Protein backbone atom coordinates (compact mmCIF):
# COMPACT_ATOMS: atom_id res chain seq x y z
CA UNK A 1 0.00 0.00 0.00
CA UNK A 2 1.02 3.60 -0.50
CA UNK A 3 0.53 5.47 2.78
CA UNK A 4 1.03 9.14 3.63
CA UNK A 5 1.70 10.32 7.16
CA UNK A 6 1.72 13.80 8.67
CA UNK A 7 3.40 13.91 12.05
CA UNK A 8 5.65 11.04 11.00
CA UNK A 9 8.56 12.45 12.98
CA UNK A 10 6.56 12.59 16.22
CA UNK A 11 6.39 10.06 19.02
CA UNK A 12 3.65 7.87 17.52
CA UNK A 13 4.30 8.70 13.88
CA UNK A 14 7.99 7.78 13.81
CA UNK A 15 7.23 4.29 15.16
CA UNK A 16 4.33 3.86 12.74
CA UNK A 17 6.51 5.01 9.85
CA UNK A 18 9.25 2.51 10.68
CA UNK A 19 6.76 -0.35 11.17
CA UNK A 20 4.96 0.36 7.91
CA UNK A 21 8.17 0.54 5.85
CA UNK A 22 9.48 -2.66 7.47
CA UNK A 23 6.20 -4.35 6.46
CA UNK A 24 6.91 -3.38 2.85
CA UNK A 25 4.57 -0.42 2.44
CA UNK A 26 5.52 2.65 0.41
CA UNK A 27 5.44 5.50 2.96
CA UNK A 28 5.64 9.23 2.37
CA UNK A 29 6.29 11.28 5.49
CA UNK A 30 4.90 14.83 5.27
CA UNK A 31 7.06 16.91 7.63
CA UNK A 32 8.99 20.16 8.02
CA UNK A 33 12.45 18.56 8.11
CA UNK A 34 13.81 16.15 5.51
CA UNK A 35 16.81 15.49 7.76
CA UNK A 36 14.58 14.47 10.66
CA UNK A 37 12.58 12.10 8.44
CA UNK A 38 15.80 10.54 7.12
CA UNK A 39 17.12 10.10 10.67
CA UNK A 40 13.92 8.59 12.11
CA UNK A 41 12.61 6.64 9.13
CA UNK A 42 15.22 6.45 6.36
CA UNK A 43 13.11 4.14 4.17
CA UNK A 44 10.29 6.69 3.86
CA UNK A 45 10.02 9.33 1.18
CA UNK A 46 9.75 12.98 2.23
CA UNK A 47 7.29 15.72 1.30
CA UNK A 48 7.38 19.21 2.79
CA UNK A 49 4.48 19.85 5.18
CA UNK A 50 3.74 22.58 7.68
CA UNK A 51 0.46 22.77 9.60
CA UNK A 52 0.09 26.51 9.03
CA UNK A 53 1.07 26.41 5.37
CA UNK A 54 -0.11 22.92 4.35
CA UNK A 55 1.64 20.80 1.75
CA UNK A 56 3.98 22.55 -0.69
CA UNK A 57 2.24 21.06 -3.74
CA UNK A 58 -1.31 19.64 -3.60
CA UNK A 59 -0.48 17.08 -6.29
CA UNK A 60 1.83 15.35 -3.78
CA UNK A 61 -1.35 14.05 -2.09
CA UNK A 62 -2.42 12.02 -5.14
CA UNK A 63 -2.16 8.26 -5.29
CA UNK A 64 -2.41 7.23 -1.65
CA UNK A 65 -4.33 4.14 -0.57
CA UNK A 66 -4.39 5.39 3.02
CA UNK A 67 -3.37 8.50 4.90
CA UNK A 68 -2.57 8.95 8.60
CA UNK A 69 -2.85 12.49 9.96
CA UNK A 70 -0.98 12.74 13.27
CA UNK A 71 0.52 16.23 13.06
CA UNK A 72 0.20 18.46 16.10
CA UNK A 73 2.35 20.32 18.59
CA UNK A 74 3.11 18.30 21.69
CA UNK A 75 0.54 18.69 24.46
CA UNK A 76 3.30 18.02 27.00
CA UNK A 77 5.74 20.42 25.36
CA UNK A 78 5.56 23.17 27.97
CA UNK A 79 3.28 25.32 30.11
CA UNK A 80 -0.07 26.12 28.62
CA UNK A 81 0.35 29.84 28.24
CA UNK A 82 -2.02 31.66 25.91
CA UNK A 83 0.63 31.47 23.18
CA UNK A 84 1.27 27.77 23.72
CA UNK A 85 -2.46 26.97 23.63
CA UNK A 86 -2.72 28.87 20.34
CA UNK A 87 0.20 26.87 18.92
CA UNK A 88 -1.43 23.58 20.01
CA UNK A 89 -4.76 24.65 18.50
CA UNK A 90 -3.37 25.94 15.21
CA UNK A 91 -1.23 22.84 14.69
CA UNK A 92 -4.33 20.67 14.91
CA UNK A 93 -7.33 22.67 13.72
CA UNK A 94 -5.62 24.77 11.04
CA UNK A 95 -3.36 21.86 10.06
CA UNK A 96 -6.35 19.58 9.50
CA UNK A 97 -8.23 22.30 7.61
CA UNK A 98 -5.21 22.81 5.35
CA UNK A 99 -4.92 19.08 4.72
CA UNK A 100 -8.60 18.81 3.76
CA UNK A 101 -8.33 21.80 1.44
CA UNK A 102 -5.21 20.35 -0.20
CA UNK A 103 -7.01 17.05 -0.83
CA UNK A 104 -9.97 19.01 -2.23
CA UNK A 105 -7.70 20.89 -4.64
CA UNK A 106 -5.83 17.69 -5.53
CA UNK A 107 -9.13 16.10 -6.57
CA UNK A 108 -8.13 12.67 -5.31
CA UNK A 109 -8.58 11.22 -1.83
CA UNK A 110 -7.35 7.99 -0.26
CA UNK A 111 -9.81 5.22 0.53
CA UNK A 112 -9.23 5.65 4.27
CA UNK A 113 -7.86 8.44 6.46
CA UNK A 114 -6.93 7.95 10.09
CA UNK A 115 -6.94 11.32 11.82
CA UNK A 116 -5.57 11.82 15.30
CA UNK A 117 -7.66 13.18 18.12
CA UNK A 118 -7.55 12.66 21.87
CA UNK A 119 -9.53 11.36 24.82
CA UNK A 120 -9.47 14.97 25.99
CA UNK A 121 -12.66 15.18 23.89
CA UNK A 122 -14.55 13.74 26.88
CA UNK A 123 -13.19 16.21 29.44
CA UNK A 124 -12.60 15.27 33.05
CA UNK A 125 -15.51 13.06 34.07
CA UNK A 126 -13.87 11.58 37.17
CA UNK A 127 -14.86 7.89 37.37
CA UNK A 128 -17.69 8.00 34.82
CA UNK A 129 -17.47 5.21 32.23
CA UNK A 130 -17.24 6.63 28.72
CA UNK A 131 -17.34 5.23 25.19
CA UNK A 132 -17.42 6.56 21.64
CA UNK A 133 -21.07 7.54 22.02
CA UNK A 134 -20.40 9.74 25.08
CA UNK A 135 -20.91 13.47 24.63
CA UNK A 136 -18.14 16.03 24.49
CA UNK A 137 -16.83 17.27 27.81
CA UNK A 138 -15.88 20.79 28.83
CA UNK A 139 -12.65 22.74 28.88
CA UNK A 140 -9.78 23.56 26.54
CA UNK A 141 -8.98 20.01 25.41
CA UNK A 142 -12.61 19.03 24.86
CA UNK A 143 -13.25 22.13 22.76
CA UNK A 144 -9.97 21.66 20.88
CA UNK A 145 -10.75 18.02 20.04
CA UNK A 146 -14.25 18.92 18.91
CA UNK A 147 -12.96 21.60 16.52
CA UNK A 148 -10.14 19.32 15.34
CA UNK A 149 -12.53 16.46 14.57
CA UNK A 150 -14.98 18.82 12.88
CA UNK A 151 -12.25 19.83 10.43
CA UNK A 152 -11.37 16.16 9.80
CA UNK A 153 -14.96 15.40 8.77
CA UNK A 154 -14.17 17.31 5.61
CA UNK A 155 -12.17 14.26 4.49
CA UNK A 156 -15.26 12.11 4.88
CA UNK A 157 -17.24 14.66 2.86
CA UNK A 158 -14.65 14.23 0.08
CA UNK A 159 -15.25 10.48 -0.01
CA UNK A 160 -12.66 8.96 2.32
CA UNK A 161 -13.61 6.61 5.13
CA UNK A 162 -12.58 8.61 8.19
CA UNK A 163 -11.30 7.04 11.40
CA UNK A 164 -10.88 9.38 14.37
CA UNK A 165 -8.17 8.04 16.66
CA UNK A 166 -8.78 9.34 20.20
CA UNK A 167 -5.58 8.43 22.01
CA UNK A 168 -4.82 8.95 25.68
CA UNK A 169 -1.37 9.16 27.20
CA UNK A 170 1.01 7.11 25.04
CA UNK A 171 4.09 5.70 26.77
CA UNK A 172 7.12 3.81 25.57
CA UNK A 173 10.15 2.18 27.13
- pLDDT at position 172: 82
Q: How confident is the model over 65-104, as pLDDT tens digits?
A: 999 999 999 888 889 999 999 999 999 999 999 999 999 9
Residue 166: pLDDT band with limits 50, 70, 90? very high
DSSP secondary structure code for residue 137 in this structure: -
Pairwise CA distance, residues 89 & 91, whole Å: 5
pLDDT over 90 (residue 1): yes
What superfamily in CATH does domain 2-167 come from?
NAD(P)-binding Rossmann-like Domain (3.40.50.720)
pLDDT over 90 (residue 165): yes
Total residue length of the chain? 173
Pairwise CA distance, residues 47 & 39, whole Å: 15
- pLDDT at position 132: 86
Q: How confident is the model over 33-56, as pLDDT tens digits?
A: 999 999 999 999 999 999 988 998
Per DSSP, helices labelled H in the chain are 11-22, 34-40, 82-89, 95-106, 140-157
- pLDDT at position 6: 97
Q: What percent of the chain clears pLDDT 90, i.e. is strictly above it?
A: 87
Residue 125 near residue 144, CB atoms below 8 Å: no
Mean pLDDT of the chain: 94
Domain edges within the chain = 2-167
Q: What is the pTM of this model?
A: 0.93
Secondary-structure breakdown of the chain: helix, strand, coil percentages, each rounded to the nearest 5: 40, 20, 40
Amino acid sequence: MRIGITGGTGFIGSTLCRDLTRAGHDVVCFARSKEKVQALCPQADFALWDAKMGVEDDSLLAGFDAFVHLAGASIAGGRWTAGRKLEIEESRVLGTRNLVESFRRCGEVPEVVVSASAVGFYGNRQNQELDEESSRGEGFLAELCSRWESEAYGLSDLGSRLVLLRTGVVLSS
